[in-house]
Chains A and B, each alone.
Chain A
Amino acid sequence: MTVTATKAPARTPSGDAPKALRHRNPARFFVLTGLLVLFLLLVGPLLVVAVNAVKSPAEYAGSGPLSIPTSLYWDGIVDFWNRVNFGQKLWNSFITSLVVAVLGVVLSILNAYALGIGRVKGRVWFLVFFLVANLLPQEVLVYPLYYISKEAGLYDNLIAIIIIFTVIQSAFGTYLLTSVYSEFPRELLEAASIDGAGKWRTLWRVVVPVSMPTLGVLFTFFFIWTWNEFFLPLVFLISNDNQTVPVALGVLQGDRMMDATTTSASALIGILPAMLFFLIFQRTLTRGIAAGAIK
């Protein structure tokens, strides 16, 4: 099963009349109630965060976390934003994730072209290697990378993080894309070669355009995964100006100097960008999660 093949979900016809009658019983009510309760348990904490992020500390102290705010209080968010210079963190996260996503996709394409379409010698071993590289815990790489980046003058620099995540993400990308490319229609490649296209032209003019949907999924994944990364950015990006969003929030949390409304304000501005990506990429994501799995 490849990414492109998962695009057309089989629509199931909604239950025919006799079946629906047979099942018209209290079970229907209980199932729906159960699902709604679970829904509230999972989404509820996020709603509680949102409600309290726009509440004044006095109101929180008075009426507690579940009350609807009587007036919108933005000072908590604004203060927090300015205190941590959040705009800068957003930019650091954005530029890192974007560059990693682009470079990671390009590197995956090159690897998968050689392994999936070129079927170079030892391809199985290369694939095993890329799979293992993706599974490795980052702890086993972190100290040497820390040491090397210091020697190279790239410590506390976004470039170090970009290089590292480009490689880690492309390990997964290579693994997924190779399986897609091994089933690439041979006729298209032959047609390109009859037209006189070399391997380089064939790659960019035929292979890449045809596999665009898969590449879109990879791009989305790499972007969001890199955005959410915590461990390596925590180790590498120590100065205030270089921190990414998760690092800035995570480190502040350690200070324990915050009150309830400031904490929820900080959580809310950490959630919002992620929610935005989720809304933008929802289709690609749900399709892609499954695609990544089967291969």
Chain B
Amino acid sequence: MAKQKGYAVYLIPGVLASLLVIIVPLVMTVYISFTKWTGVGDPRWVGFDNYTRLFGDTLFWQSFSNIILLIIAMAVIPTLLGLVLAAVLFDYVAKKFGDRWAGFFRSGYYLPQVIPVAVTGIIWAWILHPSYGALNRILEAVGLGGLAKNWLGDPDYALYSVMAVMIWFQLGYPIVMFMSGLQRIDPSIYEAADLDGATWWQRFRKITVYMIRPEFYVVLITTTIAALKIFGQVFVLTGGGPSNATLVPSYFAYKNFFEKAQVGYGSAISTVLTVLIVVLAFVFLRLQHRAEEQS
């Protein structure tokens, strides 16, 4: 490795830009989180006050318990369901009906992912609207009017409605990921399993799941982090309501920044969220690394 000199200069634009857009703002937010500040005038240093207040704030805990349910809806369910669906499409549909059918289903399932999140919110806010929404109208039309609800406006159902929307939104991503991972598998492995009389379930567990462990980790970490960061859909669907039933940390922070002018408190919320995401990412990376070493 002799010719390594002279490349560092190519990093200069990237480092300067990251300094401006990432590092300085990050450091500022952490600093502001130790102050009381309305956004005008000088911040006043208050030490850990914002953090002690945060951990005693029921809204903060509510937003984090909501996010756990959203992780189930955005990461756990799509990953598990996506695993089965990808295997069915790859190992069954593609072989019995042809690649075209598998590709057709894959594209259809992926479609919700390409729509801007704000538009996803608009679509579902309309479908779930209590008076003019499509879902209640459909339920009435098929004689199930008794099930009609104020899906997003009732604190008992709002979070579950948002969860359902998020499963709809997220399912296509693991399917596409897992299917492309499965293309690495040598078809002869499946054929050998067939000759040995393996059932479909055995092949799924012993071959499919085993082969796409790298994708599995990547999907789980990216979807979990996406769930922790969720903002757009909640903003458009419910605005965190009704009575904070769908409040999430990012929206909680947004409200403190731009509606309540509690910039110090908002900064503490986003700092905690950031620490959580970074720690989680490292844990996942280690898990993935260990899995790779074992194989």
Contacts from A to B (Cβ < 8 Å): 1, 6, 9-15, 19-20, 23, 28, 31-32, 35, 38-39, 41-43, 45-46, 48-49, 52, 60, 64-66, 107, 110-111, 113-115, 117-121, 126, 129-133, 135-148, 163-164, 166-168, 170-171, 174, 193, 199, 203, 224, 227-228, 230-231, 234-235, 245-247, 249-250, 253-254, 259-260, 263-264, 266-267, 270-271, 274-275, 277-278, 282, 285-287, 289-290, 293-294
Segment with Cβ contacts to A, from B68-76, B123-131, B143-151, B154-162: B123-131
Given contacts A15-B95, A266-B122, contact A113 B7 (CB under 8 A): yes
Find out whether the CB atom of B274 lies under 8 angstroms from the CB atom of A136. Answer: yes
A45 to B169 alpha-carbon distance, docked (Å): 11
Given contacts A48-B127, A129-B18, A140-B26, 7 further A-B contacts (CB under 8 A): A35-B105, A64-B138, A119-B4, A139-B269, A145-B21, A148-B24, A260-B132
Q: Whose C-beta in chain B lies nearest to the C-beta of A5?
A: B184
**11 examples of A-B residue contacts, CB within 8 angstroms:** A13-B187, A42-B108, A42-B111, A114-B7, A143-B257, A144-B24, A174-B14, A203-B10, A250-B122, A266-B122, A293-B218
A228 to B10 alpha-carbon distance, docked (Å): 30
Please, which residues of chain B bring their CB within 8 A of the CB of A117?
7
List the 4 closest A-B pairs by CB distance, nearest first: A118-B7, A290-B180, A144-B25, A270-B119
Find out whether the CB atom of A19 lies under 8 angstroms from the CB atom of B21. Answer: no
Instruction: Produce 1/0 per residue, B246-282, CB < 8 A to A.
Output: 0001100110011000010011011101100110010
Please, which residues of chain A bring their CB within 8 A of the CB of B281?
131-132, 135
Main SS class of interface, B:
helix
B203 sits at the interface (CB 8 A): no
Find out whether the CB atom of A110 lies under 8 angstroms from the CB atom of B168. Answer: no
The winner among B11, B138, B171 for most chain A CB atoms within 10 A is B11
A255 to B139 alpha-carbon distance, docked (Å): 26
The 8 Å CB contact of B10, one of A113, A163, A249, A270, is: A113
A162 to B254 alpha-carbon distance, docked (Å): 21
Contacts from B to A (Cβ < 8 Å): 1, 3-4, 6-11, 13-14, 17-18, 20-22, 24-26, 28-29, 32, 39, 85, 88-89, 92-99, 105-112, 114-119, 121-127, 129, 132-134, 137-138, 141, 168, 171-173, 176-177, 180-181, 183-187, 194, 214-215, 218-219, 222, 225, 228-229, 231-232, 235-236, 239, 249-250, 253-254, 257-258, 263, 266-267, 269-271, 273-274, 277-278, 281
Please, which residues of chain B bring their CB within 8 A of the CB of A11?
99
Given contacts A20-B96, A230-B117, A246-B118, contact A135 B239 (CB under 8 A): no
A275 to B113 alpha-carbon distance, docked (Å): 10
Please, which residues of chain A bring their CB within 8 A of the CB of B235?
230, 234, 250
Find out whether the CB atom of A64 lies under 8 angstroms from the CB atom of B137. Answer: yes
The 8 Å CB contact of B109, one of A19, A38, A130, is: A38
Find out whether the CB atom of B273 lies under 8 angstroms from the CB atom of A140. Answer: yes
Q: Whose C-beta in chain A lies nearest to the C-beta of B126?
A: A263
Report how many A-B pairs have Cβ atoms within 8 Å: 303
A285 to chain B, nearest CB (A): 8
Find out whether the CB atom of B11 lies under 8 angstroms from the CB atom of A289. Answer: no
The 8 Å CB contact of B122, one of A65, A121, A267, A289, is: A267
The 8 Å CB contact of B25, one of A141, A245, A289, is: A141
Q: Whose C-beta in chain B lies nearest to the C-beta of A93?
A: B116
Q: Whose C-beta in chain A lies nearest to the C-beta of B186?
A: A10
Find out whether the CB atom of B116 lies under 8 angstroms from the CB atom of A294. Answer: no
Find out whether the CB atom of B134 lies under 8 angstroms from the CB atom of A114. Answer: no
A267 to B123 alpha-carbon distance, docked (Å): 6
A162 to B168 alpha-carbon distance, docked (Å): 30
A260 to B236 alpha-carbon distance, docked (Å): 16
Find out whether the CB atom of B171 lies under 8 angstroms from the CB atom of A270. Answer: no
Please, which residues of chain A bring their CB within 8 A of the CB of B111?
42-43, 46, 275, 278
B272 to chain A, nearest CB (A): 10
Given contacts A144-B25, A260-B126, A270-B119, contact A42 B232 (CB under 8 A): no
The 8 Å CB contact of A143, one of B13, B32, B173, is: B32
Given contacts A48-B127, A231-B232, A289-B180, contact A166 B17 (CB under 8 A): yes
A65 to B173 alpha-carbon distance, docked (Å): 29
A253 to B3 alpha-carbon distance, docked (Å): 57
Please, which residues of chain A bring their CB within 8 A of the CB of B228?
137
Find out whether the CB atom of A294 lies under 8 angstroms from the CB atom of B138. Answer: no
Q: Whose C-beta in chain B lies nearest to the C-beta of A231?
A: B231
Find out whether the CB atom of A246 lies under 8 angstroms from the CB atom of B119. Answer: yes
A249 to B25 alpha-carbon distance, docked (Å): 28
Find out whether the CB atom of B10 lies under 8 angstroms from the CB atom of A118. Answer: yes
Find out whether the CB atom of A65 lies under 8 angstroms from the CB atom of B219. Answer: no
Q: Whose C-beta in chain A lies nearest to the C-beta of B24?
A: A144
Please, which residues of chain B bring their CB within 8 A of the CB of A277?
114
The 8 Å CB contact of B17, one of A107, A126, A278, is: A107
Find out whether the CB atom of A163 lies under 8 angstroms from the CB atom of B21. Answer: yes
A234 to B236 alpha-carbon distance, docked (Å): 12
A252 to B155 alpha-carbon distance, docked (Å): 23
Please, which residues of chain B bring their CB within 8 A of the CB of A199?
6-7, 10
A81 to B212 alpha-carbon distance, docked (Å): 45
Please, which residues of chain B bring their CB within 8 A of the CB of A266?
122
A241 to B16 alpha-carbon distance, docked (Å): 30
